[in-house]
Chain A
């Protein structure tokens, strides 16, 4: 009886330890490829922001160069 209860406690502890190795991650999104949608959305936003900065930088450079000449 005692051996059985010790084994039972160890088994319960094992499941909690196993949870750390099996922490829920976005595995399903990776296996069905949806993770790439996430990356695409972020890359699009990022590209838009960078485009805005580049255009602004060019406009400022033009004004600076006009002022010099």
Chain B
């Protein structure tokens, strides 16, 4: 986790996205106008969240199998970071919606399902906060994390696509894929997804390493 090469890659990719995201051409569309560039920022927040929750899910399973409290620390801190990115994703989505859909909140299915998913993960934090014993807290929160992840899959990936929705790609709207057929947006979007994911993993790793240091200090 202290390896630097993927962090350099992250800095290069995101630096490119910050510049190219505004300088490179995009399709000229009504209603969206220049806000279509939010694709490079709002959408990767969610991809990052999903990957971070997947990592947390993995470490939750590992904890239940090994009983090693370090795995619990990984799971906890990567969940924390995932929650942070979900807040950013929701906030940026509402800001974008206010000026394109007409309102910050439209009871859009994807908005609702994502908010529900966020509440489920907030409850994980409350659950952890209420328990003092390390092993019990680790065991119960690992089980909860696994169920929370199992809820996230249909909430984010299945339900929104099955009903009418304002979000592109759902409910009869053309997906953004149709808009970047000219490949101009793909040139920035794919590096953006990778860059933001690397940033999420970097932040998660820093938080985990900090807690591991504290853990070692208390358990010498």
Q: Which residues of A are at the interface with B, using a C-beta cutoff of 8 A?
A: 19-26, 35, 38-39, 42-43, 46, 50, 53-54, 56-57, 60-61, 63-64, 67
Contact = CB atoms under 8 A, between A and B. Distances in A.
Contacts of A38: 22
A23 B28 contact: yes
B23 A35 contact: yes
A21 B11 contact: no
B206 interface: yes
Contact of B34 (A25, A53, A54): A25
19 contacts: A20-B28, A20-B30, A22-B28, A23-B28, A23-B29, A23-B33, A24-B33, A25-B34, A26-B34, A39-B18, A43-B19, A46-B14, A50-B11, A53-B203, A57-B7, A64-B2, A64-B209, A64-B213, A67-B216
Contact of B210 (A21, A26, A35, A60): A60
**Could you tell me the dominant secondary structure of chain A's interface residues?**
helix
A53 B4 CA distance: 12
Interface in B1-24: 2, 7, 11, 14-15, 18-19, 22-23
B45 to A, nearest CB: 15
B149 interface: no
A67 B202 CA distance: 21
Contacts of B23: 35, 39
Interface residues of B, number: 22
B2 A61 contact: yes
A42 B18 contact: yes
A41 to B, nearest CB: 10
Contacts of A22: 28
A63 B11 CA distance: 24
Contacts of B209: 60, 64
Contacts of B34: 25-26
A20 B179 CA distance: 14
Contacts of B7: 53-54, 57
Contacts of B14: 46, 50
Nearest to B202: A53
Contacts of A64: 2, 209, 213
Contacts of B15: 43, 46
Interface string B21-44: 011000011101110000000000
A24 B30 CA distance: 8
Contacts of A56: 206
Contacts of B203: 53
B30 A23 contact: yes
B183 to A, nearest CB: 19
